[in-house]
Amino acid sequence: MLFIYIFMILLGALPLAIVGRKMWVATKIQKEGTHTNGIIKHINTVRIPKGAWIDRLTIEYTDRATGKPYYAKATVTHRKYKYSDTIDLAYLPKQPAKYAIDSKGGNAGMLIFSILIFLFVIFAVYKIREMVETGQM
């Protein structure tokens, strides 16, 4: 039974680990990377089911060392940017295809949600264990 509890806790920690890693990598690229301006080359407007509209951007930026163009993707609020606007982004000099765009706290909601899921799973495992020990289940 202990293995089931551990599995449930690890499964609840998975979203937290994924979001935390993505935020850590983006912060690392922002800190150590080369900052440049990207130009919006394409905007694809999509409607979220039963929700608002969002824009999926294709951004072109150039590696300063080689002059080779690279493309980045971003999802933003509808009509926040228009075609040929510039966006600040950072990329790793040794791996120009790895980039990060400053999200200005856009991942905070997912981080909080992941923490809540993790705490709920820990509470659920505790209650299940308690019920099993007292014979209520």
> In the chain, what are the domain boundaries?
1-33+92-137, 34-90
Nearest-5° angle of CA 66, CA 73, CA 78?
A: 140
The pTM for the full model equals 0.79
Mean pLDDT, the chain, integer:
92
Q: How far is Cα 40 from Cα 98, in angstroms, rounded to an integer?
A: 17
Quick one: what percent of the chain has pLDDT higher than 70?
A: 99
pLDDT at 125: 95
Q: What is the pLDDT of residues 22-77, one digit of tens each?
A: 999 999 999 999 999 999 999 999 998 888 899 999 999 999 889 999 999 999 88
Q: What is the pLDDT of residues 94-136, one digit of tens each?
A: 999 999 998 777 788 899 999 999 999 999 999 999 999 888 7
Phi, psi of 61 (to 5 degrees): -135, 160
